[in-house]
A and B are shown apart, each in its own frame.
Chain A
Amino acid sequence: MQLETFSQGKSLLHLLDPRVKLLAYIPFIFLTALSSDIFQVLASLAAATILAGIARLYSPLLFQRLLVVNVFMVFLWITLPFSISGEPLWNAGPLTASREGVTMPLLITLKANAVALYTVSLPGTSTIISLSHAMLHLRFPEKIVTVFYFFYRYIGVIGDEYARMLRMLQARGFHAATSLHTIKVYAFFTGMLFIKSLERSERVYQALLMRNFHGAFPLLAHFRLKRQDLIFTFLITCFFLIISLL
């Protein structure tokens, strides 16, 4: 399973140290998500758009991802214009949409898209394994990162198991439909997948024991900051200050 769609590339952002990217990412998303000033959010969205451009990420796939982000927004666009009172904008029968009620979902939609663009262009341009490596160097609790490492390592394996079982279902002429039969098949499917996961976890644990595992992996490779990382840190800090002062 190829999951890290945006991590492959040769752009400037792909080459940066993942620690630097993580440290730049966190303040930006919290600043954007918590802002209530439309100009600040627009500036942040502009910065995110530029970052995604530098990472050369624009592709049909990226727009497909952004579409998913905006699905939840439909709930807000349907309800908020009518539940916030204010200056009336237009009437639809007994319902009145207010101007304040339209700016609110607009603000949230812009924020969500900006954060999604930050996500694909900063942590998204590193592989998950190098990000978990970076998390250890940034002193994240070792235990949870180790669990995350195993989790990510075995998604591919369990995903293969899943694909094989689906093929088997298709070979037997299974078609998903709105029926009790479909639910039954998928329930047994899920049960089997979890049984296989348990059995694999037992084998993996025995293999780990044999190799003297103590609950964490030692860090062998270390990151070294290069000139490009320092320049990026300087520029992104300037950007951050400008946006936060707006």
Chain B
Amino acid sequence: MHISEGVLPLATLAGGYAASSVGIGLGLKKSTDEHLVRTAMFSSAFFVTSFIHIPIGPTNIHLVLNGFVGLLTGRTCFAAIGIALLLQAVLFQFGGITTLGINTLNMALPAFLCFLIFSPLLRRKSIPVVLTGFFCGFVSVFLSALLLSLSLVTAGESFIPAAKLVFAANTPLMIVDGFVTALALQFIDKVKPEMLIP
């Protein structure tokens, strides 16, 4: 789910940085120190769970879980996702530093939207936790893949087939992430339900 260096034009890179900085700034501004520590810790867990690979036939995919992290961190999800991506770029050369802004936006904006939509549902329990979780995982990866493809298209019309291919390659991930988010939320709901009420 990363765009690497050297593809996107300056306007997209700058726009991504501007939007992500606003997201991080607004999220952190009103946070208490306790919430900051929690955000950092969830971000570490987010980074570590990206090492989990689920075999799909002959290949495997790694979990993204941005919707799940969005639900748990709330407003500070831009910071939580941004720093994890920064470390991945510096240590493993996944994504990149010039594209850090746009990559953060592509993953954190859907996470934040999922928080706004699904957090009230989770609190009121109007639909089962499993369903909320599935939609949260599915929608967040779906939107991220969509934003990723759209940002590729800003590099020029000739990138449309590549954008479509990238979107299609992410479809299995939407389903797997949906299932994992659903069952993980159900587990938390049983073991530590107070965690789901921010």
Contacts and interface: CB of A to CB of B under 8 A. Distances in A.
Interface in B129-184: 157-162, 165-166, 169, 176, 179-184
A173 B51 CA distance: 20
B52 A189 contact: yes
Given A178-B55, A201-B37, A193 B182 contact: no
Those 4 A-B pairs whose CB atoms lie nearest each other, nearest first = A111-B6, A187-B183, A150-B40, A191-B187
Given A83-B160, A143-B36, A147-B79, A197 B41 contact: yes
Q: Is the interface of A mostly helix, strand, loop or mixed?
A: helix
Nearest to B137: A187
B3 to A, nearest CB: 8
A195 interface: yes
A89 to B, nearest CB: 15
Interface stretch (A49-57, A152-160, A226-234): A152-160
B24 interface: yes
Contact of B92 (A65, A162, A197): A65
Contact of B44 (A25, A187, A197): A197
Nearest to B192: A195
Interface residues of A, number: 83
Interface of A: 3-5, 25-26, 29-30, 32-34, 65-66, 68-69, 72-73, 75-76, 78-80, 82-84, 101, 104, 107-108, 110-112, 115-116, 119-120, 123-124, 128, 131, 141, 143-144, 146-152, 154-155, 157-159, 162, 176-178, 180, 182-184, 186-195, 197-198, 200-202, 204-205, 208, 213-215
Q: Which of A176, A178, A186, A214 has the most CB of B within 10 A?
A: A186
20 contacts: A4-B91, A29-B5, A34-B10, A68-B94, A79-B161, A112-B5, A115-B96, A124-B90, A141-B25, A143-B36, A147-B79, A155-B48, A190-B184, A193-B45, A194-B195, A195-B188, A198-B42, A204-B37, A213-B33, A215-B33
